Structure 1
């Protein structure tokens, strides 16, 4: 039987009555047990089958507690519910609000539903049908009685344009009830002028914020695999997960990956999530690729909310990267936003093609490959498809992903005030070279805008930003708007953000009440959590003489306050020993330690100087 709509896209939503309700509904609609009914749904999942002559996609979502406000629903569940609409691009034809008929509906159900529907656009109810379900048979009279009994159900039904349907869920259920549901959905689609529900989304949030909001470095575990067709994406995903999560077709004429799929695994005591995405034809421009496939590719970022940690671009090592191939890559990677290359690692497959050559020799032999490796800032990894059980290659890949995020990047922020403070000098000592101008006269000119410097030390890439600071007795109100903007914007000169904050203080500074207020005020420019990521960098270490830094701290209540704010994190830098690289090495070790603990907030390192 063929319907008027060759394709139907359905999202199941509703409260959490039993762990079987929505998932069982999805299984009945698709005619196969594709959704897990043994435990609650904790992430939105899409499944697709041909049913009654239609290609039907059903998305199952986490439920919320009926009658409870949205604040009682976890943030992750809310993100997953929102994410559901992106799992069936370009958008669902219908939302089925699943209501179990055995449920006693409190009056609070209406307000709970209203709050949870705010996760979607305001017109969501235009695309909604109430779906009453039961695991036993009910007549139409029973359903009408239920509606009359509960005012909240009557009101919800009115908001949905009185659209409703009943499904009896059982293994021997009559399939004509599913066909009748399809008919009602098709009628709704016609009434909506064939326009599916759509919700705009922001690529940068999915790709970047996802990384910034995840916990610490040990949880860099969410990967999206992209690349041309026939490059071995699905096979690579299976090797990373250590199991057959994605269908691998060994014949060149077999169906390719046609939609985004998600797989989960555990490796080295960390949970891994891998998203496999449809590929593009290697010589197609973006214009040649269908709109549907482009939407599916974009959609891959939204299958692991709040976003992936890395994008793995899969390339077969034997591929000749000519001009057409380059353009196709450039075009299709642009679907993920301008910043995608910053988070991309090339994953070379089929290394057996190399023979006795190294991957470096292969790269040197192909200008197109050199271009691609440069785009990814020399980040690449070789995965041997012929050794699927070699877990060492997966371990090294995950280490490279961590390195991509933890690679040290240091900002400095210069202070407004006297120049005999060692602010720019501290940045130069860390970089091991004179990058920032140091004025030896107190009347010398101060830094008026942000400056950036780069260096390499102990196989780490370092970046230091020197920027205007604030005068030590100024409140935030006293500091000009221009300088406040310059101070704030220092965060953005080393995207996607800092590992730690180094607050530079001269050891001979008396941290009095005015000084404390000034520090507190100006540090607030970076948010409430800035102190969790801050290390005090004491300069002028030679000033101590025979005293220790601990004795200096004990002698000054203001310094004690400052050290307590930073949870006892500090380091001494001796400006008179510019070539002492050991002091820099120890500093970087302390920074890495705090970065590992506080990875959730920022990715690189800010060096903030507050010196008088």
Structure 2
């Protein structure tokens, strides 16, 4: 991966004269898409001129970092897994929505970080699917960046570059980030300073599902959480696939919003707070049900740590709104619980459901509807989140003042006591 002082610009589009800062938006928002954490981090750090992104960060976390470059603020939204060919349609939608949310009101530039030896027909289809998930006009804002010295001509890569109006930056061995920023400015100017409009995606509902107790037009907000990203995606995919096969009459026009919470065990305390609050805030007016996914097997150290962090960050307030799904495979179907799993279920209030490849979504919905009835259609909102944390802070302050009083009283005791 090239560093900030070893890069070269190869621009296939005609150069555009740089205008004054007053002709450019004060905040340049860039979405960086790739398939490698280290590559994305390197390019993001190259643009910002500092080590802002961690090369060992979890690939499923979309991160936003900003910085002041000369006379303007630059924000980079980094998604290092969106251009992986094995990513599911649900993960694409989920991650694109996250990118759009973090670049609100919309990105000015979409960067495609590609490799010469990676570009195949399958990869081209993946790139096109991801781009169309943003907007039909996304190519007006797109640019390709490559970080490898080409060993030959790659026709697929050239086709992608051509669709991006021949905008291509080759990160090699000379020049500076200013050259790349100049190309970003050119894109902004060619679009009359307008950002990419992704409003249709922001209001997009993942799928629909009947819920008789909901009033017309109110979404059912579900959050899928757990330490195992594969299990979370499998559950999400199964819900979406079974729902898509249902008839319009059975759907009754009800909407479901399905959001995945990244594994908290891989995040710092600050990142954990940001991700959880962001997740809840995306579910307006709040989260109706948290689906905690755990395997039907002895819990791993990571599973236990994830459960502990979910309880700590959301507090006991989550117990009213959480349903534990015990993921079973086709070879192991049982209704028995081991002691560890039983303990976790009890700590979250007792609601649980065995969920396998043959489980019908209708069974899950029956459990969810029962929860909603018990909760009086209540939800876990951002207010609930902050109230819980304020309560914790008040309890800590009380303990601190009590300890301080004890220390002071001991200090006033006569010598020898």
State the distance in 1 between where 2:48 and 2:75 align: 8
Q: 2:51 aligns with which of 25, 29, 33?
A: 33
> How far off its partner does 1:151 sit?
1.5
Instruction: Provide the residue aligned with 2:272 in structure 1.
Output: 264
> How far off its partner does 1:38 sit?
1.9
**Structure 1's 399 and 98: CA in aligned 2 closer, same or farther, altered over 3 A?**
same
> How far off its partner does 1:215 sit?
7.7
> How far off its partner does 1:108 sit?
2.9
Instruction: Provide the residue aligned with 2:336 in structure 1.
Output: none
Instruction: Provide the residue aligned with 1:403 in structure 2.
Output: 320
**Structure 1's 106 and 395: CA in aligned 2 closer, same or farther, altered over 3 A?**
closer
Is 1:211 aligned with 2:231?
no
Q: Is the 8 A contact 1:7 1:54 kept in 2?
A: yes
State the distance in 2 between where 1:62 and 1:53 align: 28
Q: Secondary structure at the match of 1:118?
A: helix
State the distance in 2 between where 1:41 and 1:77 align: 13
Instruction: Provide the residue aligned with 1:114 in structure 2.
Output: 128
**Structure 1's 499 and 603: CA in aligned 2 closer, same or farther, altered over 3 A?**
farther
Q: Secondary structure at the match of 2:134?
A: coil
Q: 1:603 aligns with which of 353, 363, 371?
A: 371
Q: What are the superposed Cα offsets for residues 206-241 of structure 1, whole Å, 9 maximum, x if unpaired?
A: 99544265689xxxxxxxxxxxxxxxxxxxxxxx99
Q: What are the superposed Cα offsets for residues 577-597 of structure 1, whole Å, 9 maximum, x if unpaired?
A: xxxxxxxxxxxxxxxxxx5xx
Q: Is the 8 A contact 1:130 1:160 kept in 2?
A: yes
1:189-228 alignment, distance < 5 Å: 189-200=188-199, 201-202=202-203, 209-211=220-222
Which structure 1 segments of 5+ residues have no match? 217-239, 247-262, 266-271, 276-299, 312-334, 344-390, 407-497, 501-526, 535-594, 607-612
Q: Secondary structure at the match of 1:36?
A: coil
Instruction: Provide the residue aligned with 1:97 in structure 2.
Output: 112
Q: Secondary structure at the match of 1:604?
A: helix
Which structure 2 segments of 5+ residues have no match? 1-17, 208-217, 228-263, 290-307, 324-350, 354-358, 375-417
Is 1:21 aligned with 2:46?
no
Instruction: Provide the residue aligned with 2:362 in structure 1.
Output: 530
Is 1:79 aligned with 2:79?
no
> How far off its partner does 1:196 sit?
0.2
Q: Secondary structure at the match of 1:274?
A: helix
Is 1:125 aligned with 2:136?
no
Instruction: Provide the residue aligned with 2:276 in structure 1.
Output: 274
Is 1:166 aligned with 2:170?
yes
Instruction: Provide the residue aligned with 2:3 in structure 1.
Output: none
TM-score by length of 1: 0.36
Structure of higher RCO (CA pairs closer than 8 Å, 6+ residues apart) = 2
State the distance in 1 between where 2:162 and 2:139 align: 10
**Structure 1's 77 and 35: CA in aligned 2 closer, same or farther, altered over 3 A?**
farther
State the distance in 2 between where 1:107 and 1:397 align: 44
Instruction: Provide the residue aligned with 1:257 in structure 2.
Output: none
> How far off its partner does 1:104 sit?
4.8
Q: What are the superposed Cα offsets for residues 4-25 of structure 1, whole Å, 9 maximum, x if unpaired?
A: 53321110113x2x43111211
**Structure 1's 603 and 195: CA in aligned 2 closer, same or farther, altered over 3 A?**
farther
Q: Secondary structure at the match of 1:161?
A: coil
Q: What are the superposed Cα offsets for residues 502-547 of structure 1, whole Å, 9 maximum, x if unpaired?
A: xxxxxxxxxxxxxxxxxxxxxxxxx95324566xxxxxxxxxxxxx
**Structure 1's 403 and 111: CA in aligned 2 closer, same or farther, altered over 3 A?**
closer
What is the aligned-residue RMSD (CA, Å)? Answer: 4.4
> How far off its partner does 1:118 sit?
2.5
Instruction: Provide the residue aligned with 1:180 in structure 2.
Output: 179
Q: 1:11 aligns with which of 31, 35, 47?
A: 31
1:368-517 alignment, distance < 5 Å: 398-403=315-320
Is 1:151 aligned with 2:133?
no
Q: What are the superposed Cα offsets for residues 348-378 of structure 1, whole Å, 9 maximum, x if unpaired?
A: xxxxxxxxxxxxxxxxxxxxxxxxxxxxxxx
**Structure 1's 110 and 56: CA in aligned 2 closer, same or farther, altered over 3 A?**
same
Q: Is the 8 A contact 2:220 2:288 kept in 1?
A: no
State the distance in 2 between where 1:530 and 1:336 align: 22
Greater Rg over alpha carbons, structure: 1
Q: Is the 8 A contact 1:44 1:81 kept in 2?
A: no
State the distance in 2 between where 1:273 and 1:64 align: 18
> How far off its partner does 1:179 sit?
0.6
